[in-house]
Amino acid sequence: MMTNSSTRYALSFTSGTLLAAQAAVVAPIYLRTRDWTATRAQVKEENVLQSRVARSNTRMLGALIPRLQLLNEAELQIVADGTSTERGHVMWVAACHLYSLIGEFAEEVLRERFLTLAGTLTYEEYDSFYRSKAMWHDELYDVTDDSYKKLRQVLFKMMVEAGLLTKQGRIEPALLSSCVAECLNQHTPSDIRFFPTRVA
């Protein structure tokens, strides 16, 4: 497991889904500046994300930059220059690392159901997973019903955007490119554990 009962889950991922398209715009700016503060300032000043409201721009950057900061050089290059599929896979990993609840769900439920040939993933599996985690994490009990539904909805939308799940709830095997797989395997344990795939 990626966390324990003394570590609170971060539950702030409702301010954006996978954010892969936005990442494709922001990552190249960072790769040029090598400075996250300067990157954030340029994105806001030039309205690179084309937000009509400054507050939504700030909120989106607040969700996006912490994810990008978890990526290494090779992963950021994939976000900047890779295909949309590759970018989606890398941004899924970033979300899994930043939000332990997502990472554990990916490893313990999404991948497990794929490996056991379950074929589908529904809200019911998420609800069961959430209840089991709430036994050890009091902060999960404090979530309002509306926030609970929003967290669940956003997580499932992330999986759809990453190409890991259809809108109908069928699990899609992750076809990882060689460069993405190489990046994932540089981590210990391998970040392939977050994907529905039989690749070790």
CA atoms within 13 A on the CB side of 114: 21
Nearest to 89 by CA among 184, 187, 16, 15: 184
* 3 pLDDT above the threshold of 60: no
Supply the mean pLDDT for the chain: 93
Bigger pLDDT: 77 vs 47: 77
Q: Which residues, in sequence order, are CB contacts of 32 under 8 Å at separation 6+?
A: none
CATH number given to 20-194? 1.10.3540.10
- Lowest mean pLDDT across 47-51, 78-82, 167-171: 47-51
What would the pLDDT profile of 138-167 be if each residue is shown by its tens digit?
999 999 999 999 999 999 999 999 999 999
Burial grade of 124 (CB within 10 A; 0-12, 13-18, 19 or more): exposed
| Interval 170-190 mean pLDDT | 97
Nearest to 193 by CA among 112, 74, 99, 117: 112
Map out the domains of the chain as residue ranges.
20-194
* pLDDT given for residue 6 in this prediction: 55
Provide the whole-model pTM: 0.94
Cis peptide before 196 (omega within 30 of 0): no
In the chain, what is the greatest distance between 2 CA atoms, to the nearest angstrom? 49
What would the pLDDT profile of 64-123 be if each residue is shown by its tens digit?
999 999 999 999 999 999 999 999 999 999 999 999 999 999 999 999 999 999 999 999
